[in-house]
Amino acid sequence: MNANIGVDISAACRHIAAGGVIAYPTEGVFGLGCNPDNDAAIDKLLHLKGRDIEKGFILIASHRKQLSPFIGSLSEEIKSKLDDAWPGPVTWILPCSENAPVVLTGGKPTIATRVTDHKTASALCEECNSAIISTSANLSGQLACTTADQVAEIFSDQLDYILDYPVGDLKGPTPIFDALTGTQLR
């Protein structure tokens, strides 16, 4: 199966709904993503990247409600931090819900989350009406792709769809902060 490259957000969402893995632009790099509730799609994504399951994944969303099934209780202080940063290019490590799949959390009591302000990534989450996995489009340990052509070169026929829009203005992946401590992790 050759990866389809295009600009059809609805088609990308249909691939996600069908258990596919797609590539799409984010704030600074291309991301690989799938449905966070589809174990087979997540396994495929782990295999594509050569990613260690213990690393967990980032979930992106167009609004915080899409993340609520995966996030535990939040203090008013943390909610305020999120309100100040989102939507935006900041990933927060938050307490995870009891139902958050271990493959998403890496077995930790936390989960990485972002309400994106990237127009295409946000529209994708909105079209899918859910959060989606977001991990950099690269083989583990390699530089992340910043164009659809780079993604196609590395992953050729292994992806179901490549959403061909430009990445945002951020130079590299989003910064990651621990919401409980305020520590910047990346």
Q: What is the CATH number of the domain that holds 152?
A: 3.90.870.10
The verdict on residue 110 lying in a domain is: yes
Tokens of 132: 């989606």
Domain count, the chain: 1
The verdict on residue 184 lying in a domain is: no
- pLDDT value of residue 156: 83
* Structural domain of 13: 4-178
The verdict on residue 185 lying in a domain is: no
Query: Over the chain, what is the mean pLDDT?
Result: 96
Residue 60: beta bridge partners?
114, 132
The verdict on residue 186 lying in a domain is: no
Q: Are 23 and 137 in contact (CB under 8 A)?
A: yes
The verdict on residue 183 lying in a domain is: no
| Residue stretches of the chain with pLDDT short of 50 | 1
- pLDDT value of residue 3: 64
CA distance 53 to 85: 28
- pLDDT value of residue 157: 87
The verdict on residue 84 lying in a domain is: yes
